[in-house]
Structure 1
């Protein structure tokens, strides 16, 4: 029963090494979309290691599970896995990992339900502040203008997603700056960044003692903003997008000497103004392909005894 143990060790190694390598990489801010993909592959590999280890441990502990796992396997494959020699720890490992998996699912459901309740509340408030005309139906993607003293703009996802901007933002944003802000919010919607944030928040909230999940959540919040900034800057220019960020956040104390909950905004503005060069297309493709192979490694480890049986 070395394969379940090897999978757990591989998952722990991936969880420890992956975030460190990404933290030392000098290209993540230059290619946030690629960095988002790499982070997802790392976390998927960790979760896959746990899921495969749970499956093999359960197969070692219970004959009924073993029959279902190897029901469609060719003859001789099940014999290649020394499942009958497993000790009493196999059942405990399988139950512990199954409980962790159920807890992760429960955390994700809680996060989604919480976000849905929040969207419903904000949508109800929106209808009060900007009611529909008689006979008017909510139009997906429509722009809603709200009276407001603070310049702000945000995307409200859901069945009928809406883009909201305040009148103060309309007064502050000049020229194509408004278009850049709208393109930024549309970038979030098109890439479904809300689901990335939900998944990362569920894992970090369910397992606060696991550093890789906390780092995953922090990086998702940062990288989705950089990716949306890039989409806006490609359409309307880096200077226009940077000026729009300054106009929206100038009155919030973001650029002052004291601490601010929006401390990442100055870094985003500096990044837009310094215009970092993108990676060559070959390197982007190489990074994407290499990251896609990371979740494949646990599958190969789990299949090694069966592949040897055919050899």
Structure 2
């Protein structure tokens, strides 16, 4: 029974649950707790998928009746578990290798064609007539990029908010969060995985960076900067301040009141999601001791 339950949980957490969560816009008002929830859903889905195979192996091995199908079921479960792990490893290698190569090439090109912005050592200015700002993550050598049009169009407070936004991405390593969800999304076929999780996490990391930007600028300053750069597009592998759901982000900026009860409930649900599949896998082992 345990393998079946874990399998159902894995399927639900991979597809229907993310599709449902993506419809709940009120989650955007508590971005940190909501991000924890999305990470818990993703990790619980993987734990459940792997745990289903491990539980079936355990049940078949410890079956006191030694049913003739036990060994076959254990072998099939083992192959399923190994295939899940291998798909994750292959997807992780492909996504990570591609992203790092793309970002490395882009940083090298920036150092050749872009100018440094005054005392901002990591900020590069591109001679471009479209207002745009983005960051290129990298261990030890990230870059923040802004176009000449953005420097001309935005006021100082708006520019400060934009720089704070991009630097928040780099400091919190939001690129690693997005990379992990990209790996999960590409590791499994479309009928199992949901693109809603990746879309929502992309939005949440932008909202988190928006919150960090409010430490140096007002919501009005940031909203004006976002709308001014609505036509800009960040290159592949970069994270742009104005490239993800501007309408929703501006809406969230208009309602910043704290929601401690919502935060507590989301963190509690996240904890339960991680504990449940773990307990189902571990319980048979504990019973045998």
TM-score by length of 2: 0.84
Cα distance in structure 1, aligned partners of 2:81 and 2:135? 37
Counterpart for residue 198 of structure 1: 179
Counterpart for residue 40 of structure 1: 39
Question: Any residues of structure 2 matched to 1:1-311 within 5 Å, and which?
Answer: 2-15=1-14, 18-58=17-57, 84-85=66-67, 86-130=70-114, 142-159=122-139, 160-210=141-191, 212-249=193-230, 264-272=245-253, 274-279=254-259, 281-309=260-288
CA deviation string 1:110-132 (max 9, x = no partner): 11111111111101211220379
- With over 3 angstroms needed to count, the CA separation of the structure-2 counterparts of 1:155 and 1:82, relative to structure 1, is farther
Cα distance in structure 2, aligned partners of 1:251 and 1:116? 23
Cα distance in structure 2, aligned partners of 1:204 and 1:8? 18
Q: Secondary structure at the match of 1:294?
A: helix
- With over 3 angstroms needed to count, the CA separation of the structure-2 counterparts of 1:99 and 1:44, relative to structure 1, is same
Larger Rg, first or second structure (1 or 2): 1
- With over 3 angstroms needed to count, the CA separation of the structure-2 counterparts of 1:150 and 1:229, relative to structure 1, is same
Q: Secondary structure at the match of 1:27?
A: helix
- With over 3 angstroms needed to count, the CA separation of the structure-2 counterparts of 1:303 and 1:191, relative to structure 1, is same
Cα distance in structure 2, aligned partners of 1:198 and 1:251? 22
CA deviation string 1:150-190 (max 9, x = no partner): 21111111131121212211111113000110111112112
Deviation at 1:83, TM superposition (A): 9.4
Deviates more, 1:284-293 or 1:190-199: 284-293
- Root mean square deviation of aligned Cα: 2.9
Cα distance in structure 2, aligned partners of 1:82 and 1:14? 32
- With over 3 angstroms needed to count, the CA separation of the structure-2 counterparts of 1:82 and 1:34, relative to structure 1, is farther
Q: Secondary structure at the match of 2:27?
A: coil
Cα distance in structure 2, aligned partners of 1:3 and 1:140? 56
Cα distance in structure 1, aligned partners of 2:12 and 2:152? 52
Number of residue pairs the alignment of both structures matches:
276
CA deviation string 1:211-258 (max 9, x = no partner): 544221111112111221122124311101001111222578xxxxxx
- With over 3 angstroms needed to count, the CA separation of the structure-2 counterparts of 1:262 and 1:208, relative to structure 1, is farther
Cα distance in structure 2, aligned partners of 1:95 and 1:298? 20
Cα distance in structure 1, aligned partners of 2:77 and 2:26? 38
Counterpart for residue 73 of structure 1: none
Cα distance in structure 1, aligned partners of 2:268 and 2:58? 32
Cα distance in structure 1, aligned partners of 2:213 and 2:150? 17
Give the conservation status (yes or no) of the 8 Å contact 1:238–1:275.
no
**Structure 2: where are the runs of 5+ without partners?**
234-241
CA deviation string 1:80-131 (max 9, x = no partner): x659542523212221231122011111111111111111110121122037
